[in-house]
Structure 1
Amino acid sequence: MSILRNRNLTVLVALVILLGLLMMTNIQAGAVGISWQEVWASFTGAGDPDLTYIILNYRLPRIVLAMLVGCGLAVSGLVSQSILRNPLAAPDTLGISAGAALGAVSTVLLLPVEMQSAWLTSLAAFVGGGAGALLVYVFSYRNGVDPVRLALVGVAVSACGSTLVQLLITQSSANTNTVLLWLNGSLWGRNWDQVLQLVPIIVLVVPVVWMLGKVMDLFGLGEQSVKGLGLRVEKMRAVLLLLAVLLASGSVAVVGMIGFVGLVSPHIARRLVSGGHRYYVPVAGLVGAIMMLLGDYIGRVLAPPLEFPVGLVTSVIGAPYFLFLLWRQYRTKSRPDKNS
Structure 2
Amino acid sequence: MNAALVDPSTSQPLRTTLVCVGLAVLLVLLALVSMALGAVPLSLNRVLAGLFGGPDAFIIGQYRLPRVIVAILSGAALALAGLFLQVALRNPIASPDVVGITKGAGLGAMLALIFAPPAWIIWSVPVGVIIGAGTVAVLLLAIGRGLGGGVTTLALVGVSLGALAQAMMQFLMVRYPRGIDQSMVWLAGSVYGSTISDILSLSFWLLACLPVVILLAMVLDISAFGDDTLKSLGISPNLLRASLVLTAVVLTAGAVASVGSIGFLGLLAPHIARLMVGPHARHLVPATALTGALALLLADLIGRLVALPNEIPAGIVASVIGGPYLFFLLLWEARRRG
Q: Which range, TM-score by smaller chain?
A: over 0.9
- Alignment match, 2:4: none
Matched, 1:80 2:85: yes
Map 1:136-155 onto structure 2 (within 5 A).
136-142=140-146, 145-155=149-159
Alpha-carbon distance in 2 for matches of 1:275, 1:316: 27
- Matched-pair contact (CA < 8 Å) for 1:74–1:284: yes
* Alpha-carbon displacement from aligned partner over 1:273-331 (angstroms, at most 9, x marks no partner): 12611211111000000001100111111121101101011111111101111111112
- Matched-pair contact (CA < 8 Å) for 2:223–2:240: no
* Alpha-carbon displacement from aligned partner over 1:230-277 (angstroms, at most 9, x marks no partner): 211111211221111000011101111000011110111111112611
Map 1:172-191 onto structure 2 (within 5 A).
172-191=176-195
What 5-or-longer segments of structure 2 have no aligned partner?
A: 1-8
- Matched-pair contact (CA < 8 Å) for 1:72–1:206: no
TM-score by length of 2: 0.94
- Alignment match, 1:266: 270
- Alignment match, 2:40: 32
- Matched-pair contact (CA < 8 Å) for 2:84–2:248: yes
TM-score by length of 1: 0.93
What 5-or-longer segments of structure 1 have no aligned partner?
A: 336-340
| RMSD between aligned residues | 1.5
SS of the aligned residue for 1:117 comes to helix
> Residue type of the partner of 2:82?
G
* Alpha-carbon displacement from aligned partner over 1:53-83 (angstroms, at most 9, x marks no partner): 1111000010000000000000000000011
Alpha-carbon distance in 2 for matches of 1:19, 1:207: 24
- Alignment match, 2:66: 61
SS of the aligned residue for 2:234 comes to coil
Map 1:174-253 onto structure 2 (within 5 A).
174-253=178-257
1:212 Cα deviation from its structure 2 partner? 1.9
**Counterpart pick for 2:324 among 302, 311, 320:** 320
Alpha-carbon distance in 2 for matches of 1:143, 1:155: 15
- Alignment match, 2:105: 100
SS of the aligned residue for 2:309 comes to coil
- Alignment match, 1:338: none
- Matched-pair contact (CA < 8 Å) for 1:31–1:304: no
SS of the aligned residue for 1:176 comes to helix
1:215 Cα deviation from its structure 2 partner? 2.0
- Matched-pair contact (CA < 8 Å) for 1:66–1:187: yes
Alpha-carbon distance in 2 for matches of 1:85, 1:254: 28
Percent identity of equivalent pairs: 39
